[in-house]
Amino acid sequence: MRLGGADPPGTARDDRRGGAMLELVLTAIQIVLALVALPIVVLCAFFPVVLFFSVCDEVRFRRFLTRAAAACPCPECGARLGSSAPAAAVAARCAYMTEFHRRFPDRKYPSIRRFDALCPTCGAQLRYHRESQRFQSADDEGDG
């Protein structure tokens, strides 16, 4: 060992310092990877659960609309809507979206449900309002 200076490269003391620095760098990399990987693992674990419950909620709402439509009269013509009214609304929406994409293939259209039921007698577009627990005429904001 020389006095007043650093050890020459390749000596045991220099190797120990390099090994300690390498361990420190590897530890820092492991911490960063853990901080990045943990949210990804949590997201991947909970995404299927959230997806499952959202699909279940949509199915439950569709069944509820079918039962509600079977018991409600149309506010426009007074005829009973029947259980096919929500399915007719879905079919009309699909037909509208198909035509929209055929006419404008490069445009994106927000897939917002504008009405929940379609009267089989008069063709009125109806929305279900949870507060009043009945179907009411949909606003004439958009088509479909």
Residue 128 has pLDDT above 70, yes or no: yes
Residue 3 has pLDDT above 60, yes or no: no
Does this model's pTM top 0.95? My answer is no
Give residues with Cβ within 8 angstroms of 137, minimum separation 6.
75, 76, 124, 125, 126, 127
- For 109, left (φ over 0), alpha (ψ -120 to 50), or beta? beta
Give residues with Cβ within 8 angstroms of 124, minimum separation 6.
74, 75, 76, 77, 118, 137
Q: What is the pLDDT of residues 11-41, one digit of tens each?
A: 555 555 667 777 888 888 888 888 888 888 8
Q: What is the pLDDT of residues 40-65, one digit of tens each?
A: 888 888 999 999 999 999 899 888 88
- pLDDT-based confidence at residue 140 (cuts at 50, 70, 90): very low
Give the separation between CA 15 and CA 23, rounded to whole angstroms: 12
- Beta strands 134-137 and 117-118: pairing type? unpaired
Give the separation between CA 112 and CA 141, rounded to whole angstroms: 12
Mean pLDDT of 132-139: 79
- Nearest Cα to Cα of residue 75 among 35, 41, 116: 116
What pLDDT is attached to residue 143? 43
Side-chain-facing half-sphere of 56: CA atoms under 13 Å: 6
- Beta strands 125-129 and 134-137: pairing type? antiparallel
